Every structure is written in structure tokens, then in C-alpha cells.
Amino acid sequence: MNPKLSNAPIVEAVVDIDCDMPTTFEVENVIEQATALFKESYPKTRKRYVHQHEIKQKIGGDAEISSPSVEVQALQLLQEDEKQIIQVRSQGYSFNRLAPYTSMDEYWEEIRGTWQIFAETFNPTQVQRVRLRFINRIFLPLDGGSLDFDDYLKVAPRLTDDVRLAFNNFINQHQVQDVETGNTAKIVLATQAEEKGTLPILFDIEVIGRNAGDVSWDFIGNELEALRNLKNHIFYNTLTDKCLTQFN
């Protein structure tokens, strides 16, 4: 059992439920309806757009680029403090929670309830995949400007020699698969600019379900639990005990 952290370093948590939507569904056409559905808890709205160009080229001729077409890709519905967001997307539903973040247990019923409103209103026909993403920002203390990553990271970068060379920054990106479930994860560890005697580390974990299924909460909830388990396994097996103590 992983310990519960009282001060989790999460700056954003995202639940994406990618769906097959009805052929007639367009976000632009449901903005007023979606705004009315969620306005009591999510009174603010923001639109995300996608810009598309079409390029045509005949043999021996110059390329012709059409004028860009712009369409609403997602409607974001935000709580008053803008820390929690529901998204009605052209490809499904999303839930975003910004810091401060406590535990998914606290947001579980909100995700379930808002998903069910989305599903009953906009009639997705099938769930293609469920995804979870947790973006963490971890501050590692610099001792006289130096740092031993092995003190804080079990998966730390290595140099060809540790006498002449010293890290300025690094980015480590890899993808893994859970051999038990077949679910996958994309993991990024990257340094950021020094800040008040610390070195911030961006620790980005995206876990992606392999299964498509129906739009019932039974299916989605089971997928989220499996993905959450994989995310926690990666998180706790990447950071050392010394690193984890700063989150309690």
C-alpha cells in the first residue's frame, strides 16, 4: 500500500474519456446547452479552437494553401476559481484539476456525475480509450549549487564521468507497458530553471488504457482504477524515500 501524501506535488491532473460521438455532433452547436447544464458549479466558459489548412499541389506546379478553417475543438467550463474544469470535446469528455490537488477519491463522484450528464446529453456511442495524466513539479534542494540525483530519483540520468562533467539540465522521456493489463504510460522527467536555491523537476506521467468499451460508468470506473494503480506504481518507484518525505 502506497502512503497517502498530505502535500502532493501535482500541478494538474487530467481525466480524458475519448469517445465515438454521433456524426451530427459539433461542439459549436452545443455551447449554449452545455453552458446551461454545468453553469451552477462551472459558471465560466472558454473555447479551444483548432486551425486547419488544406494544401493542394499539381505535378510541376506551385503548392496552393487554402485559407485556414477554424472550428471549436472543445468548450471548457470552469469553476469560479478556475482550479477545476470540465471539457466538452469533439472527441469526448475531460476533467481537469489544478493545484491544490488532494486525492482522486475526493473528485471521483464529481467525475462520475459530470460524465453521466455528458453521456446522457450528448450520446457518445462508445468509449475508445480512457487516459489519466498527472503533471508533478518537484523542488530538489541545491547544496552549494550541486545535486546528487540518486538521492531523489531511482531513475536518474548518468554521465560518462562525474569529475569533469556536471549536469546543466536534462530531459528523460520513455514509454512503458504494463505486462499485466497491456495499458501503456508515457513518462517525462525534465529539469527547469533554478528557483530560490532549488532545482524544479517536471515529472509528467500519462497512462493510457488499451480497452475500448461501452459508455457505462462501470467500464470507465474500472479503467480509471487500473490506470490510477499504474500511475501510482510509476510515481512511487521513480522517487526515493528521501524525495517522498518532502510531500508529508
- pLDDT, tens digit, for every residue of 11-33? 999 999 999 999 999 999 999 99
Backbone CA torsion sign across 208, 153, 165, 144: positive
Cα four-point dihedral sign 78, 86, 33, 69: positive
pLDDT tops 70 at residue 179:
yes
DSSP letter string over 137-197? EEEEEPBTTB--GGGTBSS----S-SSS---S--EEEEEEE-TTT--EEEEEEEE---BTT
120-132 pLDDT, tens digit each: 999 999 999 999 9
Per DSSP, the three-state class of 234 is: helix
Give CA–CA dist 167/200, Å, rounded.
14
Amino acid at 15: V
pLDDT confidence tier of residue 53, bands split at 50, 70 and 90: very low
Within 10 angstroms of residue 198's Cβ, the number of other Cβ atoms is 14
**CA distance linking residue 228 with residue 220, whole number of Å:** 12
Beta carbons within 8 Å of 172's beta carbon, 6+ residues apart: 155, 157, 187, 188, 189, 190
pTM of the prediction?
Answer: 0.90
